[in-house]
Structure 1
Amino acid sequence: MKAESRKRRNLCLAVTAALVIALVLIVVILAFTVFKPKRPVDIVDSITIQEMHVGLNVAKLVVDLNITLGIEVSIKNPNHFGFKYSESNALLNYRGQLVGEAPIPAGEISASGTEKINVSLTIMANRLLSNSQLFSDYVAGSLPLSTSITISGKVSILGLIHVNAVSASSCDFALSVANKTVEHKVCRYKTKLN
């Protein structure tokens, strides 16, 4: 009687262990195939001028400047799980020199979701005015600028596996002084998983 009950107990333990191992294998296989982490993508939808005042003081050969840009960015999470990203910054450069910065608050994007973020970048006039090429660009009627945004975060698969993900975008464009418009926008996008 004892031998038979031991056999049943061992058989139950073996079947339970086999089921647990099979379940773990199925979860791991699904995590790396169907639910494989994908890179989030941030796309600059638009760059607009919210405020622009540019004037020229010919007597002093000085440009008077006040410019605020509105940038709309879409962050798309193609994963079957949420993407949580940390605080970041949108940067504005003029001929390689940082002339504006705006914070992007931390957030979370649901599975297969997209979040739109609006950022206002005000040009730091003192930094821009110190550049010797500003006067010639103003006379030519166009200010070459570029923005860069990097979003870093994690995709959590079933709360067990955490994958770091980074998405970056940069756009080169020109501000038309006469028309007060954004022209010649060219954007590049990079993503990577760790």
Structure 2
Amino acid sequence: MKEDNEQISQTKQRQKICKRRCLSVGCVLIICLLLIFITLLVLALTVFKAKQPRIKLLSATLDGVSPRITFPVINIQLNITLDLQLLLVNRNHASFKHGSGKSFLSYRGNQFGEADIPPGFIPAMGSTTISCRLTLEVDEMVSNITALVSDVLDGQLVVDTRARIPGRVTFLKLFKKHAVATSECHFTIAVLAFKIRSRECKTKTKL
């Protein structure tokens, strides 16, 4: 009878020890999971927080022939191509893959030229240069011909460009964030000198 009581007591003691060990292991696991969660949360809010890719205008040059008008029958000759060099900057600690983009050329609010921007891939904290060639298509400017003649006679043309590049930022090959980067520029072209007199650009990104 005494031996049975001792065995029962030892069994209960072993069960208590086992429970303490299980409880200790469970606490350690919970603490580890909390530390992992906090670490991931901090990374998500800092290093892995999606940042807006940016487009910068590196250079802009003119190609073609200076606009001119002939009389007595009014005939305007126009051959202007705007060559743009754009820098697409990925400010994320993750890759940025962009699809096919578009660049548009407009005059007095109406679009008269466009160009395709090929898709590409930018590594983390990297950048790439994009060439864009936009031609002002005079044959489509019949509705604005009076304003165009007036601007040419005044010696300057004002045109606007807009580049739009959609893509997505991928973190750890698992988490993806879509983004659309755009750049809008306002150019004043000196007709007689056939050069860009001034330019003003602004960029924005929609995440």
Q: Distance in 2 between matches of 1:51 and 1:116?
A: 23
Structure 1 segments of 4+ aligned residues over 4 angstroms from their partners: 1-18
Q: Is the 8 A contact 1:63 1:129 kept in 2?
A: no
Q: Is the 8 A contact 1:151 1:168 kept in 2?
A: yes
Alignment size in residue pairs: 193
* CA deviations over 1:46-84 (Å, ceiling 9, x no partner): 211122342322122120111111011111111111111
1:66 paired to 2:79? yes
The secondary structure found in structure 1 opposite 2:160 is strand
Q: What pairs with 1:37-186 in structure 2 (closer than 5 Å)? A: 37-131=50-144, 132-186=146-200
The secondary structure found in structure 2 opposite 1:136 is helix
Larger % of helix: which? Answer: 2
**2:3 match:** none
Q: Distance in 2 between matches of 1:29 and 1:62?
A: 66
Task: Please say which of residues 32-41 and 18-27 is displaced more in the overlay.
Answer: 18-27
Aligned-residue identity in percent: 32
TM-score, normalised relative to structure 2: 0.82
The secondary structure found in structure 2 opposite 1:168 is strand
Report how far residue 160 of structure 1 moved: 2.8
Report how far residue 16 of structure 1 moved: 4.9
The secondary structure found in structure 2 opposite 1:111 is coil
The secondary structure found in structure 1 opposite 2:104 is strand
Aligned-residue CA RMSD (Å): 2.3
1:67 counterpart letter in structure 2: I
1:57 counterpart letter in structure 2: T
The secondary structure found in structure 1 opposite 2:151 is helix
**1:28 match:** 41
* CA deviations over 1:72-114 (Å, ceiling 9, x no partner): 1111111111111121111100000101100011111111111
1:37 counterpart letter in structure 2: A
The secondary structure found in structure 2 opposite 1:80 is coil
Q: Distance in 2 between matches of 1:175 and 1:58?
A: 23
The secondary structure found in structure 2 opposite 1:133 is helix
Q: Is the 8 A contact 2:59 2:85 kept in 1?
A: yes
Question: Unpaired runs of 5+ in structure 2?
Answer: 1-10
Report how far residue 35 of structure 1 moved: 2.4
